[in-house]
Amino acid sequence: MSVIHVLSQEVANRIAAGEVVERPASVLKELVENALDAGARHLEVELEGGGVKLLRVTDDGCGMSADDLRLCILPHATSKISDVDDLFRVASFGFRGEALPSIAAVSDVSITTRPRDGGEALELRVRAGKAEGPMPASGAVGTSVCVRGLFSELPARLRFLKQERTELAQCVEVLTRLLLTESGISARMTHEGRTVLEVRAASDRRQRIAALLGDDIAARLLEVHAGGQGLSLEAWIGPCDLVRRTAEQQHVFLNGRCIRDRSVSFAIKDAWRGLIMPKEHPVALLFIAMDPAQVDVNVHPQKSEVRFRNRDALVGMIRASLRQRLLGEPGPRRLHFPAAVQESMAFAAAPSHDIVRERVSLPPPVALRRTGHRCSSLAYMPDAGASNLPGVSGSGPLRFLQVHRAWIVVESNEGLSIVDQHALHERWLYEELLQRFERAECESQALLVPEQVRRTPAEAALLLEHAELLARFGLVIEAFGTTTLLVRAVPAALRKANPTELLDEALQVLADGEGTAGSSTFVAALAADMACHAAVRFGDRLPDAEVAELLRWWQQNPLLRNCPHGRPVAATISLQELELQFLRKK
């Protein structure tokens, strides 16, 4: 007697359902996608009990004939593809023929439909896995799918669901995402009879974004278009001061399908690298269009994971086009004074012990150093030309003052700027390190006694895999058994740093970007950490000549407004703002 037997259809459907239907929001996604595939222009979504008790999607799409209605709840029954080749040119949301049977396996379903090309309205019911009908019904052209008692037969699944409020929020999010790509569709969603989301057909993308994400965000988004190599990208991105604490305002669509892709997320992160803080997340909506043959969507039942044939081209285009747009945006972050601090401002204006330095002549090349540690010998190249930085006076003498051994106040045409000495120096070193890396000129300092560092086999392997790259930075490592590494040399600029910590930083950077964005990301992240180690600190008193040198560098690189970790290098207060503060102007 055999121990193997073929599972019944009922069990097979439940198994499939486990992958497709996780929660009400996944049911909603499948039903709305079906409606959009059916050419709907308007959607009505009704929910009760967070979508668990009842979830109904009604569309005005093409509807179904009696035969199709009978077939649509069978596993692998679909009107969207027919042969294997079609899998490589999927242009619809659906193609697996899994959603309706899966949903019907874990709830009670009723489908009412009336075909656009003639015929009466019909209803099909599936209760406890048994189909009844089709039977005559009443209804307009289109389809209405009603799902009741989701997971009522599966207490384990029910327990896994969150509070009603959370499930509802997830439903709103799913519908929002689907509506973002389809600007021309109107929709309404109600929960227990109360409208929770309503949009009219929009004439353009910004209007649709405004309706879904808010006018304030939509008004600030920058539009980016890029194309080439069979790809086109339309992106709507927030400027550097429009950030979020999570990545929830990042949406990536591929040929209209909302996808999650690590390499694309990484390209987004990379585009903002150094322009925002590491814990901040930019707002970004990416609409990518490419030949369906260039991407495999048949990776996961939920169809949000895809595989690109040419991932590098896509990632490169995203990173480059977004970054270019971001760097083109004017002005450093402004300092604003809330009314409450106006009073304390008066104290801040009291005379300080330092003297305003006037007419500091340009110094000969000097090395910026960190206390007792010569971190870099960067040649200073004076540029007699006028500055292209609106913030700081042109070629004239610099007037500045170092305050609290941390900040440099500098007079500018516009008013005054307050520079963060560490952030600015860090940025400079970072640019220098990157350039040296490109030219393969990073020096390393051998350790007298190689340091042994023990890590997990996976971590050690990851580091060794990138040993050559690390060596180009001056960090020389080699294997010493499967879990121990030897650090033989460290970057000269970082000879005071702890080799173990340095290795861990490299590991962190590697693990974060594991194989996703290529080595340039790693190089940039590592250079950023190294620059931070080597830069002057708060508390370091700087000779005027070095301050002047720093400021001149800043003048020559006006676009680099943040340290590589994203902190602004300077804040500017305009004369106009000062005049307002002192009530000289209304």
Given the rule CB under 6 A, which residues bind ligand ADP? 30, 34-35, 38, 59, 61-64, 68, 72, 77-80, 94-100, 143
Cβ proximity to Mg ion, 26 vs 516, nearer residue: 26
Minimum CB separation of residue 81 from Mg ion in Å reads 11
Cβ-based nearer residue to Mg ion, 16 or 573:
16
Q: Which residue is it, tokens 């400027």?
A: 239
Q: Which is nearer to Mg ion, 101 or 499 (CB)?
A: 101
Residue 38 contacts Mg ion per CB under 5 A: no
Pairing of strands 357-360, 398-403: antiparallel
- Scan for tokens 């004439």, then name that residue: 203
Nearest CB to Mg ion, comparing residues 16 and 453? 16
Cβ(488)–Cβ(450) below 8 Å: yes
For the record, the structure tokens of 221 come out as: 């988004």
State the distance between the two ends of the chain, measured CA to CA, in whole angstroms.
94
Least distance to ligand ADP, CB of residue 116, Å:
9
The residue (of 82 and 138) whose beta carbon lies closer to ligand ADP is: 82
Neighbour count for residue 577 (Cβ, 10 Å): 18
Do 103 and 109 touch, CB atoms closer than 8 A?
Answer: yes
- Structure tokens that stand for 329 in this block: 């945006």
The closest residue (CB) to ligand ADP is 94
What are the angstrom distances between the C-alpha of 565 and each of 267, 282, 432, 530, 537?
16, 14, 16, 11, 15
Of these partners, Mg ion, ligand ADP, none, which one is at the site of residue 391 (CB under 5 to 8 Å by kind)?
Answer: none
Q: What are phi and psi of 506, to 5 degrees?
A: -60, -40
Q: Collapse the DSSP code of 526 into the 3-class scheme (helix H, G, I; strand E, B; otherwise coil) and give the result.
A: helix
Hey, which residues between 87 and 146 contact Mg ion (CB under 5 A)?
94, 99
Number of C-alpha atoms within 13 angstroms, CB side, residue 321?
23
* CA–CA distance, 406 with 538 (Å, rounded to integer): 5
Token couple for 307: 């595989």
Q: Which of Mg ion, ligand ADP, none does residue 173 bind (CB under 5 to 8 Å by kind)?
A: none
Q: CB of residue 36 vs ligand ADP: minimum separation in angstroms?
A: 9
Q: Least CB distance from residue 156 to ligand ADP, whole Å?
A: 24
- 64 touches, from ligand ADP, Mg ion, none (C-beta below 5 to 8 Å by class): ligand ADP
Q: How far is the CB of 499 from Mg ion (least distance, A)?
A: 55
CB of 55 to ligand ADP, least distance (A): 14
Q: Which residue number, 94 or 564, has a Cβ lying nearer to Mg ion?
A: 94
Q: Minimum Å distance from CB 255 to ligand ADP?
A: 16
Report the nearest approach of Mg ion to the CB of residue 34 (Å).
Answer: 4
Q: Any bridge partners for residue 189, and if so which?
A: 45, 197
DSSP E strand boundaries for 149-261: 186-191, 194-199, 222-228, 231-237, 243-244, 250-254, 257-258
Nearest residue (CB) to Mg ion, 257 versus 273: 257
What is the per-residue binding string for Mg ion in 214-253, x denoting contact by CB under 5 A?
----------------------------------------
CA-atom Rg of the chain in angstroms: 30
When the beta carbons of 26 and 417 are compared against Mg ion, the nearer one is: 26
Residue 301, SS3 per DSSP: coil
Q: Indicate the residue whose CB is closest to Mg ion.
A: 94
Distance CA 510, CA 512 (A): 5
Q: Spell out, one character per residue from 422 to 461, where the chain touches Mg ion: x when CB under 5 A holds, - when not.
A: ----------------------------------------
Query: Residue 95 touches which of ligand ADP, Mg ion, none (CB < 5 to 8 A by kind)?
Result: ligand ADP
Nearest CB to ligand ADP, comparing residues 62 and 494: 62
Instruction: Work out how close the CB of 102 gets to ligand ADP at its nearest, in angstroms, rounded to a whole number.
Output: 8
- Where do the DSSP E strands lie in 390-483? 398-403, 407-411, 415-420, 444-454, 476-479
Give contact residues for Mg ion (rule: CB under 5 A). Answer: 34, 94, 99
